[in-house]
Structure 1
């Protein structure tokens, strides 16, 4: 039977208002196809599935195909064959039915069973759940949310977690149910070997609504009606509301061969000659044949996606048919080569082609707005112009024609022109027609008479490539090799490369709000002042190959170049000209553009018609685009992160992934379902944790990162469709890379501790070494002091003692009255002072305790030895908890204390000298005080005795030790000299930390 052959599922949708019962509800959701469409086929070589029996579109716009070798996913650019979804394997790779329902994907298998994949989870249904083990043909969700499945042994519906079989008691007998559909009222319409059956909305009791064997359901219409076909290929319309069956007759007695209908209400007929689209009048409207033929001969399934594209599956692959933004018209078969168009003010567009040697001579014809053709006396047109008054001028190598108010008038070209073609026209502000003639320069035609160069001899030397008459009066002449001239007020001015003109051959000239624009095969430029400035696109690239410039009545700039049409919106034109960077909308082969405009002659290949449509002509086609109604894709694409690849393995994209240690290189794959023009998709992405700014990926669907460290990351990606509509929210994938032990914070802290310990050890060893060196040096100094002290005692002081004894013998040898006696006594007194001073120095050397810091012992020894010599009582007081002083601090304190003690013993004339040592947490102090006569007022005022440096030396020592020296003295009350050292300078850090908070 017809329906049993390869499980053909002919999706039919048809709107015929003439059939009884049809109404407004039957109007297609999208307008009917226009004549210009783009077809593309994918086959096995492109990775497409073959013999697909199921096709669906998910909530993200992705297409899914059920094939006998697995499930395929398609984003518009690449097919992916999947044996697992989100890491969950298919029960079998032999799939037959598929349905996207919300976030869930339902899959039916050829050998029975259904699987439901939903956001990383899977639920398998089989015989244990009440489901048939026979082939699953279709999965359908009714309007009340019930899931239905047709199988080789009947119809099933899902009741909670268990499938229920529709058996005889439900009104449906045993038998194979291939096709069924959900009606708008919530009921199900199913085919059966004995007829067509329908259940009650929301119920499971079926009744027969159409009899006869071999009847198939093809498709649900927008109003809820269904088309049926029987074995004799007779089509019947079943009205869902009334239950009426109405035969459907194709006009002209044509019987469809493998027909199907789409959601626009269009009838398609697949024949050996190709795929034919029938228009609303059931006449052939478009045939896809030759290179445009389908991937196969049998249409297995169809789908209208949410962007308005029609998808077909065949035995060899997948096909897509979509509307183009440019609408090409049907041309006579022999019309080709360089074509030209010229719209009339009544809406007629005159279409010509330039004859070349060996071409057929095709007459120029006019096309009315309703598509009707109008004859003309023209042929082989080489130049045309719509004058400011609305009349048309045409020319070739023989005649010049003028069309005014539907009337034609012709003038033959003079023989002196040698049969050369008219190249371009312009009408100046005075109404004169300027014409450029090949090899004859520029001429003026007025009142049937020709004037060479318009009276200017220089204009006859070279033939202008293009002409333009400015409404303000000047006439511009464009030449080859960056040459341009302007005639204004009878004077001719020339421009060239020296003036910044770098467009190559000047093919088109126009003006926008008084600003001159020129284009050529090497670029587009504007005249700014007396220099030309190049115009670029938004990426800074030149606009090459622009054969024609047009400023529309809506204020838009259109360019016709070698790669198609370019548009600059009116809202952006002024700003773009000011910045010299134009934001361009491009219309190329992806929009239905074929061929290219003339690159040699300035033919009229772009012009605006009276109804606002912009007509274009190329070497292969003539068409139009309506600037006010350009089809736009307003659907924001949904980006998806599909997988993550490391050096070790491929991971499916799952939330909160944890990657193993030492992962440093990543490849993240992403996509977005953009089905109409996927070639223009754009992506941008970023990896938070590594960067914050977006990276532009163009149409690349992968991101690469290297040298990543451990941590938490979030990859985000957005997509933009062909019209620059970006994703509302970015797709995100969060993952983390586990750190190795050497990458953890603990390891870094341990390394830090070890580094500090090593540094401390090195410092400790260094300090031991330095201390040993200092100790050795101090011991050497101590030994040197001791040696000096011995030398002074054993030699110098003994020598002085011996000398004094000799003088004493000399004195006793002289008479008592001898005058030398007094001089000898004075000398002996001086020697006694020197001897005493020497003994004190020897004592100071002997009592120096710099190495130990034992300051109290040193001062006690010094005071107890010296005080009795001067008949003074010595007292040493110590307060606070004793701590060892720094060796340097002890040395300076001892020197200051010794000097102060000696001064008190020698000069104070006191009975008692007290030395007080005070240890406190705030510091150390040494005080030497006496009860004597006090300092001389002059000395106290000056701070030192002239010629003596004892007090000055004490101050310098106190400063070097980091402390202060205070001297207090009063006549008759004695003197007190106090040294104060801060804690850190006196004890060092460790000793200072051990001091009590308050002194004892």
Structure 2
């Protein structure tokens, strides 16, 4: 029998043969019963279904590459999965698979992914695809990596189908494999099963049975079920367990069919209560690293077999479909299951909820007790359940209240008696007899929430009723009842090894009652904002340390010291419900947000430094932890096998510290894509983005297949930002309007165990500048701006100088006009007037007093006239365009030196230049005034005059060593008749000069005048 393949859509040939056979075998379905000793619930399960849009085609083969990605083969191509998203593989180099229908996958340590299809074999490595073989009528149905590094393939070809065992050698497929003496004679052979034993022998699954090749010889075994079916499906899997069992899986059920153990050439099915492995129609068989068998059935879901224990998972339990195709275990221990409707993942939970599914009477567990005989007693709302040797039974004897009501408390005393509390009653179970605990008047105890036995073998019971009493029991009688204020209202009690009893109070404090004395240790200052503070659990250690699980954290008192472990110390949430130490003395806490393990070393470090942040491991809902506070007794227990039991309203949570996996390795980090302005670039080389690139998107990931929801990332763009951005679970980075330059993107990741890949991944890229963003353009722009500013400044300076010179020229013209008017009018008029007076005088006789007076007046008038002519002459000279300022100052110095003993020195620097007449005159007047002040008032011994001709300005400086004066005098109004300093400032302002005077008492005086060159120096005009 064979199936024709459509020319435009080939289907996996072997899968089609199995599916065809399933149609014939659907009638032979069987029922299964679960062994309650094995908990399916210890595995977390996640499904990706086709209707979710994550997978566009039916998944079949599964593999994992060395970089951590999971690869899924479908009839529509190859897909990659990082734990969060599926991505269809498309070669960035334009390469194509031998065929889209992927039928086999294998990842090898060298980073290669081997891809079998219905047209040959390819190898994908470092993004490049290598064609190993291509045959239009050949399908690779299985790929196997052997310990020696060799790769083996099972190939079907032709129609009707024939098969062969092949080996990959030097990137070529050798078909058939070079195995001397191997005879493939059982129908078409090699359905899918292939196993290479440690001794080098090979088992092959065939259509009609098993082929065994060893030392060049071939032998065959024919199961009855395959002979009767005429080989339509054959052997689909072979596995060897560590204890030596050889398991054979067949697509046909019936006698010697289904799942069989091969012992001494004989087939033996696995038969337990309600289960017969020969009644299975199997698609695939897989053995995981824990030596457990996973069985993919044709229409009966998924089976997991551990020794003789069997569990099943079907669509009704959440599996995507009952038709299971392939199985695969990744490096993190997840088991992946492909079905006709999607992809499923099974992950072993660290925390296992024990509930009605495992046989309990109800899910709400109020108390738990681990006995010395290894049994675990669970108090539920429907009575007492006993777990012994993996079997759950219910306490079906004793008072009815213990069988049908909520169990509030359980305790085993030093004599081995069991104390069981339910409703308002307490009973002692001893040697098969139940005895009620009552007071002297025969009244029941009331609702008991906690029980403890002190060193004197007194049993203390804490009531949880409205009146919270502490009662002491001797024998079976309540002999003492303590109320407030004798003891505070409590919830939990525990015995002190030094005598007495500890009480966890409703107010959140710890109290010890011993010999009638009460001692209270208050924790009111710890998290005072939390109102629900009561202590739900107590542990008293042998050294007297008392630990309490409170509504605001973990509290502890030790040798008079008190400590609190709260959220600031690293707890993921505040409320602690229960505590328990494991065999390694690590502390386990049950919190409202999960479970926390604190190692012995971290606990000791916290006791030394109570404010430190504790390194802990947190197990939340993704690890199977969904705890709630037990309704009455929050105490946990450790059973004889080392497992920890925590009561809860939604089942008892069980933790086996010995089975916990070590923290996962740091996740590999990959940068998958970079998109700039909606154009994708390769991350294998340093991309160069065009100028004015606006939007850049970087996609990165870290393949983590166990708990991808807990992966956290951080990234930083070197060249743009200095600090890391903590982005949580986000797997994309966005940047906008980056400036031109070179950048390096770094990204790191941390997994659910807080193990981080600090090296992470990085790549660089460059953004090109546009012409106006280049360095040369910026330099030119700066130069142009400087030149423009200089030109504007020069024009402005020229305008100011022109305006000043215009005012100076107007001043010169005014002087010339005044000199001309004085000479042509005033002096001439005065001269004429004097002539008239001269004529009048001549008429006065000589010797007359009037004539003498007139002669004296005319003599005086001659002097005034001469003086006036001198002034006019001087005014005329001051308008000349060129004036030797240096010579004038030299003359001034020489004149002064003749009349004084003061040493007056003149220094001239630079080439002497002609000054504007007004500037020269005003500067000379200022210098003259300063010199006069130095001679009259300063009592100076030396006066230094400096004239500096520079290109930028004219500087005139006068410095004396006289007595000086307080500079505050400069700011004050001038005294009467002392206008010298004010006049010098006015003259300086007139010629737009800078004028500065510096002086201190007994430190001399410095006068400095600076005139801009374009004002000071005379122009050619």
TM bin, normalised by shorter chain, reads 0.7 to 0.9
Where do residues 979-994 of structure 1 align in structure 2 (5 Å cutoff)? 987=1013
In structure 1, the partner of 2:68 is 61
CA distance in structure 2 between the aligned counterparts of 1:526 and 1:886, rounded to whole angstroms: 97
Where do residues 403-418 of structure 1 align in structure 2 (5 Å cutoff)? 410-413=435-438, 417=443
CA distance in structure 2 between the aligned counterparts of 1:270 and 1:113, rounded to whole angstroms: 26
Give 1:39's match in structure 2, choosing from 45, 50, 64: 45
In structure 2, the partner of 1:367 is 388
In structure 2, the partner of 1:276 is 303
CA distance in structure 2 between the aligned counterparts of 1:889 and 1:190, rounded to whole angstroms: 118
Cα deviation digits, residues 293-334 of structure 1 (max 9, x gap): 532333322222111222222222222223222356687635
In structure 1, the partner of 2:31 is none
CA distance in structure 2 between the aligned counterparts of 1:615 and 1:509, rounded to whole angstroms: 14
Q: The residue matched to 2:567 in structure 1 has which SS? A: strand
CA distance in structure 2 between the aligned counterparts of 1:33 and 1:48, rounded to whole angstroms: 30
In structure 2, the partner of 1:587 is 619
- How far off its partner does 1:646 sit? 4.4
Q: The residue matched to 1:6 in structure 2 has which SS? A: helix
Cα deviation digits, residues 764-823 of structure 1 (max 9, x gap): 443343234323322322222222222322334334434544555566556676677787
Give 2:344's match in structure 1, choosing from 315, 319, 329: 319
CA distance in structure 2 between the aligned counterparts of 1:516 and 1:629, rounded to whole angstroms: 29
- How far off its partner does 1:725 sit? 0.9
Q: Is the 8 A contact 2:497 2:544 kept in 1?
A: no
Give 2:633's match in structure 1, choosing from 587, 602, 622: 602
1:660 aligned to 2:681? no
- How far off its partner does 1:724 sit? 1.0
In structure 1, the partner of 2:7 is none
Q: The residue matched to 2:15 in structure 1 has which SS? A: coil
Q: Is the 8 A contact 2:181 2:218 kept in 1?
A: no
Q: Number of paired residues? A: 887
CA distance in structure 2 between the aligned counterparts of 1:186 and 1:509, rounded to whole angstroms: 59
CA distance in structure 2 between the aligned counterparts of 1:843 and 1:385, rounded to whole angstroms: 134
Q: Is the 8 A contact 1:260 1:268 kept in 2?
A: yes
Change (3 A) 1:678 1:567: same
Change (3 A) 1:822 1:140: farther
1:445 aligned to 2:472? yes
- How far off its partner does 1:885 sit? 5.8
CA distance in structure 2 between the aligned counterparts of 1:533 and 1:617, rounded to whole angstroms: 24
1:135 aligned to 2:142? no
- How far off its partner does 1:158 sit? 6.2
In structure 2, the partner of 1:798 is 828
Q: The residue matched to 1:634 in structure 2 has which SS? A: coil
1:339 aligned to 2:352? no
- How far off its partner does 1:169 sit? 12
The range that moved more, 168-177 or 87-96, is 168-177
CA distance in structure 1 between the aligned counterparts of 2:757 and 2:18, rounded to whole angstroms: 34
Change (3 A) 1:195 1:393: closer
Change (3 A) 1:835 1:184: farther
Change (3 A) 1:277 1:135: closer
CA distance in structure 1 between the aligned counterparts of 2:638 and 2:821, rounded to whole angstroms: 124
1:295 aligned to 2:320? yes
CA distance in structure 1 between the aligned counterparts of 2:807 and 2:83, rounded to whole angstroms: 88
- How far off its partner does 1:632 sit? 2.3
Cα deviation digits, residues 397-422 of structure 1 (max 9, x gap): 47645579x89773443576468432
CA distance in structure 1 between the aligned counterparts of 2:348 and 2:367, rounded to whole angstroms: 23
Where do residues 239-254 of structure 1 align in structure 2 (5 Å cutoff)? 246-247=265-266, 249-252=268-271, 254=277
Cα deviation digits, residues 448-479 of structure 1 (max 9, x gap): 3645763557579x985433455566756567
CA distance in structure 1 between the aligned counterparts of 2:124 and 2:922, rounded to whole angstroms: 89
Q: The residue matched to 1:295 in structure 2 has which SS? A: coil
- How far off its partner does 1:645 sit? 3.8
- How far off its partner does 1:195 sit? 9.5
Change (3 A) 1:416 1:86: farther
1:209 aligned to 2:237? no
Q: Is the 8 A contact 2:555 2:564 kept in 1?
A: yes
CA distance in structure 1 between the aligned counterparts of 2:82 and 2:661, rounded to whole angstroms: 21
Change (3 A) 1:538 1:492: closer
Q: Is the 8 A contact 2:249 2:285 kept in 1?
A: no
Change (3 A) 1:55 1:751: same
Q: Is the 8 A contact 1:64 1:71 kept in 2?
A: yes
1:567 aligned to 2:597? yes
- How far off its partner does 1:287 sit? 2.9
Change (3 A) 1:452 1:845: farther
Q: Is the 8 A contact 2:314 2:322 kept in 1?
A: no
Change (3 A) 1:588 1:881: closer
Q: Is the 8 A contact 1:142 1:188 kept in 2?
A: no
Cα deviation digits, residues 101-142 of structure 1 (max 9, x gap): 456554646452544443344445665xxx566434345566
In structure 2, the partner of 1:697 is 727
- How far off its partner does 1:335 sit? 2.0
CA distance in structure 1 between the aligned counterparts of 2:466 and 2:985, rounded to whole angstroms: 112
- How far off its partner does 1:149 sit? 5.5
In structure 2, the partner of 1:504 is 532
In structure 2, the partner of 1:741 is 771
CA distance in structure 2 between the aligned counterparts of 1:447 and 1:199, rounded to whole angstroms: 76
TM-score after normalising by structure 2:
0.71
CA distance in structure 1 between the aligned counterparts of 2:90 and 2:683, rounded to whole angstroms: 15
In structure 1, the partner of 2:107 is 100
Where do residues 173-252 of structure 1 align in structure 2 (5 Å cutoff)? 179=192, 209-211=218-220, 216=235, 218=237, 246-247=265-266, 249-252=268-271
CA distance in structure 1 between the aligned counterparts of 2:769 and 2:380, rounded to whole angstroms: 73
1:436 aligned to 2:462? yes
The range that moved more, 252-261 or 679-688, is 252-261
The range that moved more, 251-260 or 700-709, is 251-260
TM-score after normalising by structure 1:
0.72
Q: Is the 8 A contact 1:341 1:349 kept in 2?
A: no
Q: Is the 8 A contact 1:187 1:199 kept in 2?
A: yes
CA distance in structure 1 between the aligned counterparts of 2:779 and 2:756, rounded to whole angstroms: 46
CA distance in structure 2 between the aligned counterparts of 1:236 and 1:257, rounded to whole angstroms: 6
Q: The residue matched to 2:759 in structure 1 has which SS? A: coil
In structure 2, the partner of 1:423 is 449
- How far off its partner does 1:597 sit? 4.1
The range that moved more, 116-125 or 62-71, is 116-125
The range that moved more, 259-268 or 886-895, is 886-895
- How far off its partner does 1:631 sit? 1.9
In structure 2, the partner of 1:354 is 380
CA distance in structure 1 between the aligned counterparts of 2:641 and 2:320, rounded to whole angstroms: 39
Q: Is the 8 A contact 1:848 1:858 kept in 2?
A: no
Q: The residue matched to 1:335 in structure 2 has which SS? A: coil
Change (3 A) 1:858 1:182: same
- How far off its partner does 1:365 sit? 2.5
CA distance in structure 2 between the aligned counterparts of 1:144 and 1:329, rounded to whole angstroms: 44
> Where do 5+ consecutive residues of structure 2 fail to align?
3-11, 20-37, 158-163, 223-230, 896-907, 933-945, 958-976, 998-1005
Cα deviation digits, residues 610-669 of structure 1 (max 9, x gap): 665422233454453244663223311101122234453455544312233333333322
Q: Is the 8 A contact 1:340 1:603 kept in 2?
A: yes
Q: The residue matched to 1:300 in structure 2 has which SS? A: strand
CA distance in structure 2 between the aligned counterparts of 1:465 and 1:472, rounded to whole angstroms: 21
